[in-house]
Amino acid sequence: MNIEQLHQIFLQFPLVCTDTRKIKINCLFFALKGDNFNGNEYADEALKKGASYSIVDEEKYATSDKTILVKDVLQTLQKLATFHRNFYSAKVIGLTGSNGKTTTKELVNAVLSSKYKTIATIGNLNNHIGVPLTLLTIKEDTEIAIVEMGANHQKEIEFLCSLAQPDYGYITNFGKAHLEGFGSVEGVIEGKSELYDYLLANQKSIFLNADDPIQHKKLGHYIKKYGFTTAKKEYFKIKFLISDPYVSLSVEDIEINSKLIGNYNFTNCCAAVLMGKYFNVELNDIKTAIESYIPQNNRSQIIESNGTRIILDAYNANPTSMKVALENFNSLSGEPKIAFLGDMFELGATSNEEHQNIADLTSSLDISEVFLVGDNFYRTKTPLKKFKNYEALALYLADVELPSNSTILIKGSRGMALERLLELL
């Protein structure tokens, strides 16, 4: 069966599942393989649970007229997604960057969906499986698809671009993320820039933060670029107003008051404004969309409880995002301030140095009390309180009463799951 034939089946049953625990009636089950599982083994179970077809790549599991045997299930899923992306006329915006991808994606979707039929990456399904799954949610009436692309090594963004074939693109920033895979900050810049490389090679439109010297230099005199700035004359100007705790900005004398904390979210808002203006969304609608967006999923959430304000930013962390989060936290009004910081992962050989840098930075700030959690922070040389793991911290907190009316920051990599602290605090 070729991809065009499979696509005809997909049009009849336009829902894809890759996990038999989440099977939906009349879906197509793609039997993907992983390090510890073989989806082929669950093909029959998927059919019994209501899948219309199971796509497998091992002949012994093609036991029904409802199983479709292919050479490689993952490659078939990816090829189907690209075929489908080109079957309809939706324009695709590709988003990548070290920090702020998901927040930017959500803001852009909020703005553009006020005027257009849009689809966007669900959560952070932004890898070689997530991008195809996103593309397969494009419908006949979809006008714009906002596709988030993540990467932890070279050539990954290049590959994702070959699947999504974006018409537009934006890189949030270049930071110290996934250094284990990229090797260095220079490697991060090279890897993330694969999105701009694709757009340049195909004469597509590029959005940029014109105040980022790396982006500005990279794009040079390329004509089809549209940027935002706080200063440069030749780009769309947006003014930063305040961030205490929420970011406010001014666009053409209209004030936009977001529900996002941290100066670092200013550029995320700017990207959404810029794309809204480019796609002719009325400024008042842009304002309403940004002001209505409330962060979720442990990303810069503010939780108020009994006079205590908790900033929950525990979805992920790297040296760059940790640094700006701490500096923003330090600038907030209100005392006392308490920070819970968890290990940062995927830093490779730089891990010890980067954790020590964060510990040193934190010691220099005006933060009342700091708790460092995890093996990497535990190895730092610092007077700050250190705990080898979450369990040790929880045991300590069971006998300690934190000051009332505190402002608390919780930040760490996903694997630390520091949102568990909410139950204790």
d(C-alpha 382, C-alpha 238), whole Å: 40
Query: What pLDDT score does 177 carry?
Result: 73
The residues, ordered by sequence, that sit 6+ positions from 371 with a Cβ below 8 Å of its Cβ are 338, 339, 340, 341, 384, 385, 387, 393
d(C-alpha 165, C-alpha 280), whole Å: 23
Closest CA to 105 of 168, 59, 21: 168
Q: Which of 22-26, 233-237, 305-309 has the lowest mean pLDDT?
A: 305-309
pLDDT at 211 over 80: yes
CA neighbours closer than 13 Å in the CB half-sphere of residue 292: 12
pLDDT at 47 over 80: yes
Query: What pLDDT score does 186 carry?
Result: 86
How confident is residue 180, by pLDDT bands cut at 50, 70 and 90?
A: confident
Residue 132 φ then ψ, to 5°: -55, -40
**Which pair of tokens denotes residue 409?**
């920051």
How confident is residue 262, by pLDDT bands cut at 50, 70 and 90?
A: confident
Query: What pLDDT score does 224 carry?
Result: 95
Quick one: average pLDDT of 304-328?
Answer: 89
Handedness of CA 194, 195, 199, 205 (dihedral sign): negative
How confident is residue 39, by pLDDT bands cut at 50, 70 and 90?
A: very high
How confident is residue 290, by pLDDT bands cut at 50, 70 and 90?
A: very high
- Is the distance from CB of 30 to CB of 6 less than 8 angstroms? no
Domains of the chain in start order, with CATH, are: 3-70 (3.40.1390.10), 88-292 (3.40.1190.10), 301-424 (3.90.190.20)
**Burial, 203: exposed, middle or buried (Cβ in 10 Å; 0-12, 13-18, 19+)?**
exposed
Q: What is the pTM of this model?
A: 0.87
Quick one: average pLDDT of 363-370?
Answer: 94
- Is the distance from CB of 357 to CB of 319 less than 8 angstroms? yes
- Is the distance from CB of 175 to CB of 319 less than 8 angstroms? yes
Closest CA to 412 of 321, 294, 347: 321
How many angstroms separate the Cα of 342 from the Cα of each of 286, 329, 401? 35, 16, 20
Closest CA to 64 of 91, 89, 85, 40: 40
The residues, ordered by sequence, that sit 6+ positions from 364 with a Cβ below 8 Å of its Cβ are none
Closest CA to 39 of 129, 174, 124: 129
pLDDT at 323 over 90: yes
